[in-house]
Structure 1
Amino acid sequence: MSETNQLFGQALVKSLVGERGHIRIARALPDISVELASRKHEHMPYSIYQLVKHMHYWQQFMLEHLEGRKPQLPANVMESWPEDTGPQDEAAWEADIQAFLDGVDRAVTIAETVQLDDSLPYFPGETKAGLLRNIASHNSYHLGEIVLLRRFYGAWPPPGGGFPA
């Protein structure tokens, strides 16, 4: 792996986990209760739960491409948004958060180990680096919405503080 590839991979890892640009994703989610995750704000079209499920949907879609598979593209982007505003129970919510964070870890491992300028067999015109950057930016965008909702609800900062380390 070239030094340029390694340096860019390190930058991607920082973007994927939320280092420097904003609070780490792993610190912003785990303390959210089912009640808070399910709450809908009058000025937002979705709940925290729906945001996390949407983030996980597209992260999983892109990870499958990065791992050489060809996931089924949804017929409509709305398929990536759950209709339910909240999880069934605490165990389901904890599993949703863990599945999402496990996906972040998979993306980090990929960023640290692959040749980033390699193309993807089922995603013409895209590279592994490009798709990893897409995961990072999509997650970052929606994490900002989650933080904003938490602020609206008086549920910010999380334990340990709400600013990047």
Structure 2
Amino acid sequence: MTDANQLFGQALVKSLVGERGHIRIARALPDISAELAGRKHEHMPYSIYQLVKHMHYWQQFMLEHVEGRKPQLPTNVMESWPDNPAPLDEATWKADIQAFLDGVDQAVTIAETAQLDDPLPYFPGETKAGLLRNIASHNSYHLGEIVLLRRFYGAWPPPGGGFPA
């Protein structure tokens, strides 16, 4: 692994976990109850639950590409959004959060260990670094919406505070 690869990998890790730019993603989600996750705000098109499921959908799609597989492209982007605004129950919701955070951990491991400028066999013109950066920016964008919804509902900050550490 080259020095440039390693330095960029370290920067990607910071972006993936949410260091510096915003609260760490792993601190912003776990205390959200299923009830709160399923609430719909009149001025927002999605619930927290729908946002997390959407983030997880595209994160997994991109991770499959990074790992050299060819995931099935949805016929319509709306397939990445669940119809139901709320999780089935608390246990399912906690499993959804954990699955999403496990994907973040997987992306971090790749950023720390892979040759990031390797091209992707089923994503012409893209590299591992490019898709990991895309995961980080997509998650960051939607995490901002989750934080905003939590503020609307009076459920901010999470335990431990709401600002980057």
For residue 123 of structure 2, what is the aligned residue in structure 1?
123
CA RMSD of aligned residues (A): 0.3
For residue 26 of structure 1, what is the aligned residue in structure 2?
26
Secondary structure (helix, strand or coil) at the match of 1:126 reads strand
Percent identical across equivalent pairs?
A: 90
* Structure 2 residue 60 is the aligned partner of structure 1 residue 60: yes
Between the aligned partners of 1:137 and 1:48, the Cα distance in structure 2 is 18
Letter in 2 for 1:111: A
For residue 44 of structure 1, what is the aligned residue in structure 2?
44
Unaligned residue ranges in structure 2 (runs of 5+): none
The 5 A counterparts of 1:85-164 are 85-164=85-164
Cα displacement (A) at 1:115 = 0.6
Cα displacement (A) at 1:11 = 0.1
1:71-109 superposed Cα distances (whole Å, 9 cap, x missing partner)? 000000000000000100000000000000000000000
Between the aligned partners of 1:72 and 1:33, the Cα distance in structure 2 is 32
Cα displacement (A) at 1:58 = 0.1
Cα displacement (A) at 1:52 = 0.1
Secondary structure (helix, strand or coil) at the match of 1:109 reads helix
Report the number of matched residues.
165
Cα displacement (A) at 1:65 = 0.4
Letter in 2 for 1:6: Q
Between the aligned partners of 2:87 and 2:149, the Cα distance in structure 1 is 17
Secondary structure (helix, strand or coil) at the match of 2:55 reads helix
TM-score (ref. length: structure 1): 1.00
1:37-93 superposed Cα distances (whole Å, 9 cap, x missing partner)? 000000000000000000000000000001111000000000000000010000000
Secondary structure (helix, strand or coil) at the match of 1:124 reads strand
Letter in 2 for 1:120: L
Query: 4+ runs of 1 displaced by more than 3 Å?
Result: none
Letter in 1 for 2:83: E
Unaligned residue ranges in structure 1 (runs of 5+): none
For residue 82 of structure 1, what is the aligned residue in structure 2?
82
TM-score (ref. length: structure 2): 1.00
Between the aligned partners of 2:26 and 2:85, the Cα distance in structure 1 is 22
